Amino acid sequence: MKRTMTIAAATLLLAGGCQKKQESAPAQSADSSAVGARSGMQPASTDMPADTLAAGPWHWVGTQTPVERIMVTSPGNYTLEFLADSSLAAQIDCNRGHGKYHVDGKAIRLGPMAVTRMMCPPGSMDAEFGKELDAARVWFMNADTLMLDLFADSGTMRFVR
């Protein structure tokens, strides 16, 4: 019993010491350059404004994943249009979708989207397109190509006007 109380008392002292140490640590700056320095990552470039997204419809031409390259044979069937009011219009092969998007620097979230549920013809990439849009987390431009990086390094979608 005495040993149990000693372990419990030591645990409380250690927990209290850790707590006090955390409280006395200097406050970290919320500056993005400080975050980049701590994580080893460089802050995202802000030379391309989010308005670039709203400059017309984007056609999906393909996705590069860690294991394959997906090529779209009919880019006109898979489009995104970012509207100035933060709404999103999508052509998903034989279906249409509408929802919202949110951009914070280079971070992006698409949806949720309301999508029609027509049955597309065999060979349609509608399910793949929708799944990838849901996984988009980062946007950037590579020349005139819009790139959407997907969650957990699972790929990068490519769009052209």
The CATH code for residues 51-160 is 2.40.128.270
Q: What is the C-alpha separation between 88 and 91, in angstroms, rounded?
A: 10
Look at residue 52 in the predicted model and tell me its pLDDT. Answer: 83
Q: Which of 12-26, 79-93, 105-119 has the lowest mean pLDDT?
A: 12-26
Separation of alpha carbons 119 and 136, rounded Å: 24
Q: 89-110, pLDDT tens digit by residue?
A: 999 999 999 999 999 999 999 9
pLDDT for the residue numbered 56: 80
Of 121, 77, 76, 130, which Cα lies nearest the Cα of 99? 130
Q: Band of the pLDDT at 48, cuts 50, 70, 90?
A: low
pLDDT on residue 49: 61
pLDDT surpassing 70 at residue 9: no
CB atoms within 10 A of CB 144: 8
> Helix count (H) and strand count (E) of the chain?
3, 9
**What is the spatial distance between Cα 44 and Cα 49, in angstroms, rounded to a whole number?**
12
Q: What integer pLDDT is reported at residue 80 of this predicted model?
A: 98
Mean pLDDT of all residues in 116-132: 96
User: 27-40, pLDDT tens digit by residue?
Assistant: 333 333 333 332 23
pLDDT in tens, 53-90: 987 899 999 999 999 999 999 999 999 999 999 999 99
User: Is 1's pLDDT higher than 90?
Assistant: no
Distance of CA 94 to the CA centre of its chain: 25
